[in-house]
Amino acid sequence: MADTLTVGLVQMRCSEDPEQNLQRAIEGIREAAQQGAQIVCLPELFRTPYFCKHEDPGYFQLAEPVPGPTTERLAQLAMALNVTILASLFEKRTDGLYHNTLAVLDPRRGYLGKYRKMHIPHDPLFEEKFYFTPGDLGFRTFDTAGVRIGTLICWDQWFPEAARLTALQGAQVLFYPTAIGWLPEEEATEGAAQHEAWELVQRAHAITNGCYVVAVNRTGFEPAPPGAPSRGIRFWGQSFVAAPDGTVLARAPIDEEAVLVVALDLRRLDEVRTIWPFFRDRRIDAYGDLSRRFLDDTP
């Protein structure tokens, strides 16, 4: 395994044109690769606006197989640039069955595999349960660029169980492509606290698992539904990288597209896990009730 890894984060706006979004993503990947990135992660569902803001069966036409046309193009790019690409896509598995999926494209081996989002939210303007079936591949890791990475997606980032089970498979870096932001009516009163919670919970994953965390968000305002321009989501950007001690190594701006390239010292993993031996001191004999929904008196 390598001692260092350089990661690239492509924070971008997403238009109504999937091809335009793909080209913007390709430009970001090229920029990151030119700066030395070995793994480049794109935001969640980067080919389209975040269509889950309302329920519309027409959006199912945006889905594609994985592997499929987009992974083929990105695999060719990965080979040309000698970089691993993490691409979040709207997967059509078969008629009537869709997933929110991340594909891993390796520069030498091409398509390595995929992770299907396990936790599916359903909140105002985040109505994903209408579109996505929960993932059935479990929590996954992939060996690429000389390291082992874990791939999770957006809502997964709030669940410590997801981070822990991925880290227990040897993940040195957890990647979270994301589409998250403020509702206009909440931003003034709750916006700062919401963003802080989002960042803190992921920094906590880095600490408790002794690994790096890479969160890649989109930016810009997207109205919803069509014809209601004052209502929608202002994505808060601020993609970031957290070290195993929770330190934020880099953070993108709120309202701008950005490409972050960050070098990670993987030797820090052993140092931090030795100082904070959470894996050693876990009481695995006492955690059986975690498989229960809630602990109450009803059998």
Burial of residue 36, with CB atoms counted within 10 A of its CB: 0-12 exposed, 13-18 middle, 19 or more buried:
exposed
Catalytic residue selected from 14, 41, 44, 92: 44
Q: Residue 280: exposed, middle, or buried by beta-carbon count in 10 A (0-12, 13-18, 19+)?
A: exposed
Q: Cα torsion at 41, 43, 48, 51 (round to 10°)?
A: 150
Catalytic residue among 14, 41, 52, 154: 154
Give the DSSP per-residue string, 235-272.
EE---EEE-TTS-EEEE--SSS-EEEEEEEETHHHHHH
Q: Judge whether 105 and 75 are in contact, CB under 8 Å.
A: yes
> In 3-state terms, what secondary structure has residue 174?
strand
Longest Cα–Cα distance of the chain, Å, equals 59
Give the total residue count for the chain.
Answer: 299
Peptide bond into 67 cis (omega under 30): yes
Q: Which residues of 203-215 are buried (b: 16+ CB within 10 A; e: fewer)?
A: bebbbbbbbbbbb
Return the amino acid letter for 1.
M
Helix (H) or strand (E) holding 9: strand 4-11
Q: What are phi and psi of 283, to 5 degrees?
A: -95, 75
14 is catalytic: no
**53, 92, 114, 117: the active-site residue:** 117
- Measured CA to CA in angstroms, residue 127 lies from 50, 54, 257 at distances of 10, 6, 25
Whether residue 187 lies in the annotated active site: no
117 given a catalytic annotation? yes
Q: Where in the sequence numbering do the catalytic residues fall?
A: 44, 117, 154
